[in-house]
Structure 1
Amino acid sequence: MCLQVVIAALYYNPQLLFETLEKLQLSVSSPTESITSHFIKQWIHDTDCFLGLHDRKLCVLGLCTLLSSSGVRPAAVNECASQIIPSLILLFDGLKRAYV
């Protein structure tokens, strides 16, 4: 899943990822929505599609990194802030079921 690669990049180096996404935005120049915003919204929307243990763990780590990166946090995170905790709960429930 392509989202997982971007989430892994976020976990590894959030600042570099957001800088790269912004550079891509400048070259694509979509007037309606930034690539960063689209990525975060798609990620939150597809949280239920992370089925494997590794996939869910990476998703949890990525969301935690997103929440803890106060200095480089994009505005799109604030737009989806009310959906992040329910997404984490969904992921933790899936992990709980996988280990039982």
Structure 2
Amino acid sequence: MSVLMESLGESAIYLGDLCHHPPHFEHLDWISSFETDPQVTLESRARLFEMAVQKAALVICPHATYPGMGRVRRVAGGYAWKAAGGASNGG
């Protein structure tokens, strides 16, 4: 389950199990063996990552290393993750 939270003009998106590793931001098509419906996963990632960009949302990725929160930006071929106060996954 993923959750969009909004308050006072700010947004945050909790990704839950939608993203297991920060490289999933650049490789939307990488599917975990735990996925029960890969097509829904692909569509959901694309929709939520784009929403994160549009809303400049804080993204909470519980499977990422500490701090597990960051921002998503659009890059050639997909998206990139930049951890809050940390490193990015490229782009």
Task: Sort the TM-score into its range (normalised by shorter chain).
Answer: 0.3 to 0.5
Higher strand share: 2
Structure number, greater radius of gyration: 1
More helix by share: 1
